[in-house]
Amino acid sequence: MAVIVWLIATLSSLAALYWAKKFYGEMMAADEGNDLMKEIAESVRQGANAYLKQQYKWVAIVFVVVAILLCIAAFVLKVQNVFVPIAFLSGGFFSGLCGWFGMKTATQASSRTAAGAQRSLNDGLQIAFRSGAVMGLTVVGLGLIYICIWFAILYWILPMVRGEDSAMSLQQISVAMLSFGMGASAQALFARVGGGIFTKAADVGADLVGKVEQSMKEDSPRNPATIADNVGDNVGDVAGMGADLYESYCGSILAASALGVAAFSSPALLPEGVEVIDAQLNALLLPLAIAGIGILLSVVGIYAVKTGEELSQKALLDALAKGINRSAMLVSVAAIFLAIWLMPKVPGTVLFGFVPGIAFSIIIGLAAGWAIGKWTEYSTSDEYKPTQKLAEQAETGAATIIIGGVADGMLSTWVPVVIVCMAMLGAFACANGVNFYDVSYFSLGLYGVGIAAVGMLSTLGITLATDAYGPIADNAGGNAEMSGLDDIVRDRTDALDSLGNTTAATGKGFAIGSAALTALALLAAYVEGVRDGFERWGDDVAEVIETDGVYKLTNDLLLERSDDQATVFMVLPSVGTSTQANNAWRDLENNSVVEITPATGDSNYGKLTATDSSIISVKDANLRDFLYYYDATLMNPRVLVGVFLGAMSTFLFCAMTMKSVGRAAQGMVIEVRRQFAENPGILDGSVKPDYERPVSISTIAAQREMILPSLLGLLMPIVVGLLLGVAGVLGLLTGCLTSGFCLAVFMSNSGGSWDNAKKYIEADHHGGKGSEAHKAAVVGDTVGDPFKDTSGPSLNILIKLMSMVSVVVAGLIVRYSLVAMGIF
């Protein structure tokens, strides 16, 4: 069974890479246009390549430093798996590779999309969308094959090479693989933040000086920042988004697999004849199977995307929706069959007599992603009232459209929040048969939430194609304008670009929604990292103890050594113990021999003789045992302080990234004004602007400014963990998730609304291009640029990176935090 599922996932990932190569070949075979179109596209390619090379050099330095620290943690401190440093580097490499492939494709596709739009709207759409599909299929193909390779190494190859004694348990494998996502998360944050700073610095400079001050057209060849703006679309919205969703995709699969193993760690839930190890293995592999089938069905949806010659955004949205809806419906059906095939029929959770409830958790995740996308479309598309009313506010100046955009963004948060909350509760209830109060079913419910995140991202091959399509269409419009193509071509590329703004906003909403579900799954999976940290601590101490017996490790932790086997016990808080007994226990030196009463019968709880407190082995403890052990309640000041720090970190992160954009944009504005002042011939077209200098300014600024915000995500969980312990980290992750989700939706939707309000005015509404309303809308769009393309979309990576870092350093926090050492 395991081999069959692994082969399905592996072959599906290879199929994704095959179709990505096929679509890339078809795009490269298309007409690239005239010589001027080729020259413009080549300038954008060179700028994007130069930026990514420079970025990867800086990121490589950071990765080497972090890998060295992870090696110390694994080999010296022995608090994590020895494979984590290697996997950290490989995860970052694959994430960066996704971004590079996407950028390479997008920069080749822009002029070909413009050339296709010369023939028909459908030709332009097909080239742009199939090129976006290259990114989508590359992300899912590389992501799934990365996971399959590591599973094969840990589950099959390692025992073959080093002997059966070195074989890891499924719990150890799932936690180790979960840690591998940290490299992808770190690279994604660097790519998103750096790319976002680059693209918005160029965009703001081009818009404020070119459009507002000089009344130039969008992408005018007389604007020195035009090429930098087009480069930014590729390094931010393509390379950054690719790395972002690669990390989401891998993180959701790995978190769900870890929760699946934890859900079936006890035979109590299993029907007669089903072994624990078989149930755990199938639960671990189900997310891989869903991802594999989702890839194949995404390809089916990609072939369904076609349009006529109607330029309205509604017609184009309908064309994309046709493909997405087809894939989603097919995955929903496939999820039922996969669940029936792989999942054990847990009593009380089977629907219709034969369908495991977990199948409907997957469908709920899919439906939640679709619903968030539809709401984002309504909130940001100029086909609907909110954006049209926002455009109307531009008639009274920039201040009113900015106020309106901020309010619309805030208002737009309530529906995604309600959708995600309903999805969490629904997925939880379907998976565990609505057993909200039965502790034994609790972990199964959490597995349902994790698998819902996998369901939401199962059609990523096509949903990411709609997102990556946007910057390709935007660049095509720029190419058409700079090369002086006919107005009908520009009308078609404007229609595709306006659609791209909406699909980009929809894609950001989808990414944020998936981040919320994935982060909740990671929050639950963090406890599995804590469990693994306890076990490693016990194994390390057991190696230096010579005599069998039960030993006191700390006031709250015991170690039983028996025939070279180590078992760690948690001493659960007790309110009935006398003060005298408690004081005597705390005065007893660590590593002293103690007496316990082992668990008997069906109970997992024993007794510590000295205090009569309940004890439970780390191996048998469930999620609620860990939460009780750490007093993970809001009345615990460590948890509450962690919540506040988590909420604060999202605002601090946004402030840092927006200030970075502001500083970089200031340099861009000064440079564009300098060129106009020193070379007046640029304004009448007699002198060609210096396009390379703005590209260089954005590149240098992005590299300098991306480091500090990215380090916030890497260091915050470690610092909070060392000071406040596991309870503080749980609070941190909760605060970061809740505030970050709302803030990300607000910023992305505000920015998308401002952008499309400007497009709506440019389509001959409220005075059209060059009017006072248009100038006010350009200011609003400029304010929204860092909202929707830098800070907002980077937040979902911050949420998951903090969770991933917490999982990786769980062993360190468990053993060496101030709380663990009894200092605080």
Q: Are residues 382 and 506 in the same domain?
A: yes
Q: Are residues 465 and 543 in the same domain?
A: no
Any idea of the CA torsion for 529, 534, 540, 545, to the nearest 10 degrees? -170
In the predicted model, is pLDDT for residue 383 greater than 90? no
Nearest partner of 524 among 616, 452, 460, judged by Cα = 452
Q: Which of 478, 506, 537 is the last residue of a domain?
A: 537
Secondary element (H or E) of residue 350 = strand 350-351
Q: Where are the alpha helices (DSSP H) in 348-436?
A: 358-380, 385-393, 398-411, 414-432
The residue with greater pLDDT, 602 or 70, is 70
Q: Are residues 317 and 375 in the same domain?
A: yes
Share of the chain above pLDDT 90, in %: 55
Residue 355: strand pairing partners: 351
Residue 704: strand pairing partners: none
Q: Confidence class of residue 76 from pLDDT cuts 50, 70 and 90?
A: very high
CA 591 to chain centre: 43
CA–CA dist 503, 788 (Å, integer): 13
Nearest partner of 419 among 467, 464, 456, 445, judged by Cα = 456
Q: Are residues 564 and 461 in the same domain?
A: no
Mean pLDDT to the nearest integer, 595-620:
90
CA–CA dist 814, 824 (Å, integer): 13
- pLDDT of 176 reads 87
Q: Are residues 512 and 544 in the same domain?
A: no
The residue with greater pLDDT, 335 or 564, is 335
Q: Confidence class of residue 308 from pLDDT cuts 50, 70 and 90?
A: low
Around Cβ 282, how many Cβ atoms within 10 Å?
20
Q: Are residues 523 and 574 in the same domain?
A: no
Give the burial class of 575: count Cβ atoms within 10 A of its Cβ; 0-12 exposed, 13-18 middle, 19 or more buried: exposed
In the predicted model, is pLDDT for residue 287 greater than 90? yes
pLDDT digits 0-9 by tens, 217-261: 777 888 898 888 888 888 887 888 888 889 889 999 999 999 999
Q: Quote the tokens at residue 187.
A: 């690279």
Mean pLDDT to the nearest integer, 172-178:
88
CA–CA dist 511, 505 (Å, integer): 10
Give the burial class of 142: count Cβ atoms within 10 A of its Cβ; 0-12 exposed, 13-18 middle, 19 or more buried: buried
Residue 159 to residues 164, 294, 594, 781: CA-CA distances in angstroms?
5, 31, 36, 57
In a domain, 15, yes or no: yes
CB 647 within 8 A of CB 738: yes
In the predicted model, is pLDDT for residue 550 greater than 90? yes
In a domain, 251, yes or no: yes
Q: Are residues 165 and 117 in the same domain?
A: yes
Q: What is the DSSP letter of 583?
A: H
- pLDDT of 206 reads 82
- pLDDT of 95 reads 92
CA–CA dist 556, 787 (Å, integer): 46
CA–CA dist 91, 372 (Å, integer): 28
Q: Which of 537, 558, 577 is the last residue of a domain?
A: 537
Q: Are residues 591 and 456 in the same domain?
A: no
On the CB side of 478, how many CA atoms lie within 13 Å of its CA?
31
Question: Residue 392 in 3-state DSSP?
Answer: helix
CA–CA dist 627, 735 (Å, integer): 17
Mean pLDDT to the nearest integer, 124-138:
91
Q: What is the DSSP letter of 554?
A: E
Instruction: Provide the residue range defining the domain that includes 232.
Output: 2-389+410-537
Q: Where are the alpha helices (DSSP H) in 30-120?
A: 35-71, 84-119
CA–CA dist 478, 220 (Å, integer): 8
In a domain, 670, yes or no: no
In a domain, 155, yes or no: yes
Q: Are residues 495 and 562 in the same domain?
A: no
Nearest partner of 106 among 254, 292, 279, 230, judged by Cα = 230
pLDDT digits 0-9 by tens, 480-502: 888 888 888 888 888 887 777 67
Secondary element (H or E) of residue 700 = helix 692-705
Q: What is the DSSP letter of 271?
A: P
In a domain, 398, yes or no: no
The residue with greater pLDDT, 439 or 225, is 225
Q: Quote the tokens at residue 585.
A: 């226990």
In a domain, 464, yes or no: yes
- pLDDT of 310 reads 63
Share of the chain above pLDDT 70, in %: 99
Q: Are residues 524 and 587 in the same domain?
A: no
- ∠ CA 509-514-517, rounded to 5°: 130
Nearest partner of 145 among 83, 185, 98, 100, judged by Cα = 98
If one counts the domains in the chain, the total is: 2
| 733 contacts: CB under 8 Å, gap ≥ 6 | 519, 522, 523, 526, 642, 646, 717, 802, 803, 806
pLDDT digits 0-9 by tens, 705-752: 888 999 999 999 999 999 999 999 999 999 999 999 999 999 999 998
Any idea of the CA torsion for 693, 697, 700, 706, to the nearest 10 degrees? -150
Q: Across 144-158, 179-193, 370-384, which has the greatest mean pLDDT? A: 144-158
| 75 contacts: CB under 8 Å, gap ≥ 6 | 82
CB 74 within 8 A of CB 82: yes
Report the amino acid identity of residue 209.
Answer: V
CB 70 within 8 A of CB 78: no
User: Taking all residues of the chain, what is their mean pLDDT, rounded to a whole number?
Assistant: 90
pLDDT digits 0-9 by tens, 400-432: 999 999 999 999 999 999 999 999 999 999 999
Q: Are residues 487 and 557 in the same domain?
A: no
Q: Look up tokens 């890998």; give the residue.
A: 67
Q: Quote the tokens at residue 64.
A: 């080497």
On the CB side of 154, how many CA atoms lie within 13 Å of its CA?
23
Residue 562: strand pairing partners: 565
Q: Which of 570, 601, 629 is the last residue of a domain?
A: 629
- pLDDT of 525 reads 85
Q: Quote the tokens at residue 377.
A: 């479309």
Query: What does the buried/exposed string (b/e) look like for 613-626 if buried means 16 or more CB atoms within 10 Å of the residue's CB?
Result: bbbbbbebbbbebb
| 531 contacts: CB under 8 Å, gap ≥ 6 | 171, 175, 618, 619, 621, 626
- pLDDT of 763 reads 84
In a domain, 195, yes or no: yes
In a domain, 618, yes or no: yes
In the predicted model, is pLDDT for residue 312 greater than 70? no
Mean pLDDT to the nearest integer, 560-566:
87
In the predicted model, is pLDDT for residue 579 greater than 90? no
Q: Confidence class of residue 311 from pLDDT cuts 50, 70 and 90?
A: low
pLDDT digits 0-9 by tens, 6-16: 999 999 999 99
Q: Confidence class of residue 216 from pLDDT cuts 50, 70 and 90?
A: confident
In the predicted model, is pLDDT for residue 567 greater than 90? yes
Q: Are residues 577 and 436 in the same domain?
A: no
The model's pTM: 0.91
Q: What is the DSSP letter of 636?
A: S
CA–CA dist 73, 679 (Å, integer): 58
